[in-house]
Amino acid sequence: MSRRAFIGVLGVTTIVVAACSSSGPTSHTTQGKPLIYEPTTGVTFSDDFNPYDPNSVASSVGMKSIIYEPLVEFDQLDPTAAGTHYWLATAYAFQNGGKDLQITLRTGVKFSNGAPFGPNDVAATFTAMNNPKADVPGVAPQVAPPTISGNNVTLHFSTPQYTGLWAILGTTYIMQASVANQIAQNPTLQIAHPVGTGPFELDSYSSSLIKFKPNPHYWGGTPPESEVEVPSVATNAAASDALVSDQLDWAGNDIPNIYASFVNLDPQTNHAWFASGSTVALRFNLNPGNGGATGINEAAVRKAVSYGIDRNALALLGESGYEEPATSSGGLILPAQKAFLPADNSLTNDLSTTGNVPDPATAKTDNLPAGDDVYDILTSGGWKAPASSSFNSGTGTYKSGGNCDGTNVANCWTKGSEIIKFSVYDPVPFSDYWEDASLISQELQTLGMDVTTKPAQGYSDWNANISGNNSAWQTAIHWGQGGQIPYTQYEDWLDYSNATTAAHFEGYSNASAEADLQTYAGTDPSDTATLYPAVQALEKIMSTDVPEAPLLYGADWNVYSSAKYVGWPDQSQPYMDPSPSDPQMPYILMQLKPAS
């Protein structure tokens, strides 16, 4: 599956930015063969390329930026100046204490229909973003319409936007003003004939294959690819078969045993590089009428669920060893964000990577401190241990009388007439997440919780349900928004006020978290004395309230062939996040060269 993580809010310490690592793409005089890529599996294609509808094919597959471009291409793996590439913008500057953001636009740019690009298009696009249903997490509401002065557009916010650059400049895709004005009224408007500034334009659509042809008016010159094709791929196994049979050049999903099944077959041309880009977590649906789940509305239960999961098993069996188990309940991406951990080490390695699953030989549960195992957490929360089990907290020994699978309450934790009961809802085509869900079910049933799996047949129905239908799911495994700094993931997990965040969809509201987020967003990154306590307060909320249970450090999936094209980002040249997804597609496509 793809990790379409909207990653990274850059740690900007300067108020005016006037330099960049590149002036834009490089034009190519030679075009190669069609490039066939697959950003994710299990998506039902639809003839809709609206970049602001989360259920359009452009959003679901992660191919918005082929057509519509951002103002800046940020390398989400590199927070330094070298990772900033100006694209439709040539400069930006904060004003008014970070509340106003002035953007200077590139000149000479045209849309794929030949119409000129200019400030009115940018202003109209950001005006459309004020509709809370427009799916751009991280773009704060604007307090006044954008203002235009020559080739500059200034955005006006009620709060400083030091942490908002990734969303504002990096994942807001610019549309023609005429279309943006319609999106402002109807963010789910169907767009069958998209027009953008990107290197490619739509050539043909079918429910099984989408083709793009070079944009003849592209400001960056001629793309190296003569055509880009995106086939509908049902499963991760089907993607593996397509790679081996040379029917796919680039894949963005987890393929089990990728080295044996693909890379080692021809190491000269077959490659895989999985950069770590997010924190994968178990989401909890806390809305009323959440499909009949019991127990998970209590923080103690959510924490016990988290502490009971064998993360090593998820990493090795579910993710084929491509992802590392999460070690901190605070949710940071480690080790990259370790500077933000509390100095007292309270959130360092506080998650047991083996969980509380009893060892059959010794009946030993874990080596966590007293009070930090499933038994202690649940009993402290008023839950009664399974009648069929025995536990000695002094020696840490546990004996289970049998699995809690709903057939025998004696095997389950109880409180009054309730047991802990919920399902894990994920798409079957996401073979890694589906295996993870099965492992979590088995592990937690052993610990006295009635946990089952609920299949979604594909990405589209799953995504629509977890982002809108409050009763169709109870828990779900989902990748995080990522980021070089913690704000991006925390804003998604903890900001209920934003109608497009995971917190809003899950029904999780915490006034303290939202206040800490505001402090974080309004603090210049150089003021660490203010910044670090705000970040650590958010970590503590994640750890104690557990709105999401960190599971893994998610890979940005990237499997590719250099038979047709060379110049891919890899370990030796990590010039951009390597996944075939938004927003980095224009940058990568323009860096490739036909293989000789």
- Residue 533: count other Cβ atoms within 10 Å of its Cβ: 15
Query: Given pLDDT bands bounded at 50, 70 and 90, which one contains residue 58?
Result: very high
Query: Is the entire prediction scored with pTM above 0.95?
Result: no
The string of pLDDT tens digits covering residues 190-247 is 999 999 999 999 999 999 999 999 999 999 999 999 999 999 999 988 999 999 999 9
Question: Considering the chain, what percentage of its residues have pLDDT values greater than 70?
Answer: 90
The string of pLDDT tens digits covering residues 148-183 is 999 999 999 998 988 888 889 999 999 999 999 999
Angle separating helix axes 528-545 and 299-308, nearest 10 degrees? 90
Indicate the DSSP class of residue 52.
T
* Residue whose structure tokens are 């429910």: 207
pLDDT higher than 50, residue 12: no
Instruction: Give CA separation, 251 vs 12, 41, 163, 303, 462, in Å.
Output: 32, 9, 31, 35, 21
Query: Given pLDDT bands bounded at 50, 70 and 90, which one contains residue 479?
Result: very high
CATH of 16-254+557-594, one of 3.40.50.300, 1.10.3720.10, 3.40.190.10, 3.90.330.10: 3.40.190.10
CATH number of 277-356+420-444+458-555: 3.10.105.10
Domain extents in the chain: 16-254+557-594, 277-356+420-444+458-555
Spacing of C-alpha 415 from chain mean position: 36
Ramachandran angles phi, psi of 482, nearest 5°: 75, -155
Contact at 8 Å (CB) between 488 and 482? yes
What is the per-residue pLDDT for 455? Answer: 96
Query: Given pLDDT bands bounded at 50, 70 and 90, which one contains residue 399?
Result: low
Strands 418-419 and 414-415: antiparallel
Query: Given pLDDT bands bounded at 50, 70 and 90, which one contains residue 16?
Result: very low
Query: Given pLDDT bands bounded at 50, 70 and 90, which one contains residue 470?
Result: confident
**Short-list 483, 558, 534, 38, CA closest to 262:** 558
Better-scored residue on pLDDT, 147 or 10: 147
Query: Given pLDDT bands bounded at 50, 70 and 90, which one contains residue 128?
Result: very high
**Helix, strand, coil percentages for the chain (3-state, nearest 5):** 25, 20, 55
pLDDT, average across residues 396-403: 68
pLDDT higher than 50, residue 2: no
Is residue 162 classed exposed, middle or buried when 0-12, 13-18 and 19+ CB atoms within 10 A define those classes?
Answer: buried
DSSP string, 332-364: --TTTTGGGS-TT-TTSS-S-TTTTPPPTTT-B
pLDDT higher than 60, residue 371: no
What is the per-residue pLDDT for 397? Answer: 54
Contact at 8 Å (CB) between 564 and 592? no
pLDDT, average across residues 390-414: 76
**Average pLDDT of the chain, as a whole number:** 88
What is the per-residue pLDDT for 338? Answer: 87
What is the per-residue pLDDT for 372? Answer: 62
